[in-house]
Homo-oligomer: A and B are copies of this chain.
């Protein structure tokens, strides 16, 4: 099967609709959330129509089917990431998964491998999404640990020149993004993971912008935890994933407390089920988990490498077309070896909000602002950027429309 985005688009019903009085939808905002193929939408509906019951909570047929659906989705996710089934914890999104880690680490008693004491260090970077920054700020406040970070170079890469002074023997946690949602930069993990493990620290990967777009194997990367969101991976809203090494999940204290995560409960105390169950109290987001399983199978069938190659083609083309435009400045690396398919830029004096609005009027959906990475946009010296982000259903024609739209906007606001 050759990769053809025009064929793929047919799987996504939203491309049948029109924008702003009849215009073609040019969706360049998959970095915020992806569109969904019919198979995913139908999987959720089908669950409700035929198998809906509280998983892990009943001996009746519907409950059995719901449990089976939920647990098969777990093994799909595990296979997709190259992990084990019991290493997959379902959350509502990556944000929850990262907060789970920060809270659970903060609750780890002395003696636990995760225990943080005053003076221990937690390392992030200036290019983190707020979801991988603020939870660690808060953890540092709660524990007296020190938050440190890698700076970002003017061309939008992590500055690793002082890696040994950023990640030190006092470092306990290193939490970094795989790919920047603003700059598109893909970070050089091998070096970072090695240094992290050399000092005996734990490596947490925010894979929100990588898992949907390229082959990612937790085993090959040798990382300790990974998070991603279903809704950015052609999956449903309301479901995210935390993957963790089995041995570490076993030691990590639970985060949310409630039903079905317990081993025993008295009025004064409780003990916990083994992972992943101890991290999943409450009736699960079953339909969404089932939808996510179908979404990942859909991506696998198309091929993660094929998707990545396609995005590379699109991104390269976009960068070359955008660079032709006067006053347009790309914020982030332009070397394809260093980046994925999210391209941020500024356009002279024209404010991203105005540009975005103008493009929207032509049916082109981009995102504008600080993209939930405010320290990064400040560091890059811009108040805001316009971001076009790509996925398997985008075409070169989408890029042509974008470039034309940007030029038209320039005329409009001249």
Contact B92 A285 (CB under 8 A): yes
A211-244 to B contact mask, C-beta < 8 Å, 1/0? 0000000000000000001011000111100000
Query: Nearest Cβ distance between residue A73 and chain B, in whole angstroms?
Result: 13
Contact B357 A282 (CB under 8 A): no
A91 to chain B: closest residue by CB = B92
Q: Given A33-B52, A283-B32, A283-B229, A259 and B95 touching (CB < 8 A)?
A: yes
Q: CA–CA, A372 to B57, complex, Å?
A: 9
From A13-21, A189-197, A339-347, the one touching the partner chain is A13-21
B contact residues around A257 at 8 Å (CB): 95, 99, 102, 130-131, 134-135, 137-138
B contact residues around A33 at 8 Å (CB): 52-54, 283
Contact A258 B44 (CB under 8 A): no
Contact B287 A238 (CB under 8 A): yes
B contact residues around A285 at 8 Å (CB): 92-93, 237-238, 285, 288
Interface size class of A (residues with CB under 8 A): 35 or more
Query: Nearest Cβ distance between residue A39 and chain B, in whole angstroms?
Result: 11
Chain A 268-302 interface residues, beta-carbon cutoff 8 Å to B: 268-270, 281-288
A49 contact from B41, B129, B270, B374, Cβ within 8 A: B41
Contact A95 B258 (CB under 8 A): yes
Q: CA–CA, A286 to B367, complex, Å?
A: 18
B contact residues around A369 at 8 Å (CB): 57
Q: Given A237-B287, A283-B237, A17 and B267 touching (CB < 8 A)?
A: no
B contact residues around A129 at 8 Å (CB): 258-259
A139-150 to B contact mask, C-beta < 8 Å, 1/0? 000100001010
Query: Nearest Cβ distance between residue A272 and chain B, in whole angstroms?
Result: 10
Say if the beta carbon of A58 comes within 8 Å of chain B: yes
Known: A14-B52, A35-B48, A231-B283. 14 other contacts (CB 8 A): A13-B49, A33-B53, A58-B365, A59-B360, A60-B365, A95-B258, A95-B281, A129-B258, A131-B281, A131-B282, A133-B267, A236-B287, A237-B283, A238-B288
